[in-house]
Amino acid sequence: MPVVKFITARGDEHLVNVDVNASVMEAARNNDVPGIDGDCGGCAACGTCHVHIDAAWIEKTGHASDGGESDMLEFVEGADEYSRLACQISITEELDGLIVRLPLAQH
Ligand code: FES
């Protein structure tokens, strides 16, 4: 089962075992990782699951897709080239060890 490391803006680390095909947003919410709200349930409509992918992992996760995800990230505070919506990243075995950094806030 792949493991994802979430690092909060304060530097707290949360290691979470994640089922393949679960989203990074679901992984955080199901394991009480603070800082990912996921208000829309995963349809790229709220932007409250914004995360920064660790630079070493961005090639594997890919950048934000054109359209809905990129459009939503334009409205998110502090978004940068490593920003993704956590609900739009499905976990695969290749993402075992993924490092995800959480923003200071989701609004
Ligand atoms: S959960 Fe709403 S955009 Fe990801």
Q: Which domains does the chain have, with CATH numbers?
A: 3-101 (3.10.20.30)
Ligand 1 atom having least distance to the Cα of 86? 4
pLDDT in tens, 61-96: 999 999 899 999 999 999 999 999 999 999 999 999
Using the atom order of ligand 1, give the atom closest to the CA of residue 85.
4
**Which one-letter amino acid corresponds to residue 90?**
S
**Strand 83-85, strand 13-17: pairing:** unpaired
**What phi, psi does 56 have (nearest 5°)?**
-70, -15
In the predicted model, what is the mean pLDDT of residues 15-33?
Answer: 97
> Is the pTM value of this prediction over 0.85?
yes
Ligand 1 pocket check: which of 23, 39, 107 to mutate, most ligand atoms within 8 Å of Cβ? 39
Structural tokens at position 69: 């995800």
3 beta partners: 17
**Other beta carbons less than 10 A from residue 99's beta carbon:** 15
| Pocket-forming residues, ligand 1, beta carbon under 6 Å | 25, 38-40, 42, 44-49, 72, 85, 87
pLDDT (0 to 100) of residue 17: 97
Closest C-alpha to ligand 1, atom 3: 44
Nearest in space to 27 (alpha carbons), one of 102, 81, 77, 104: 102
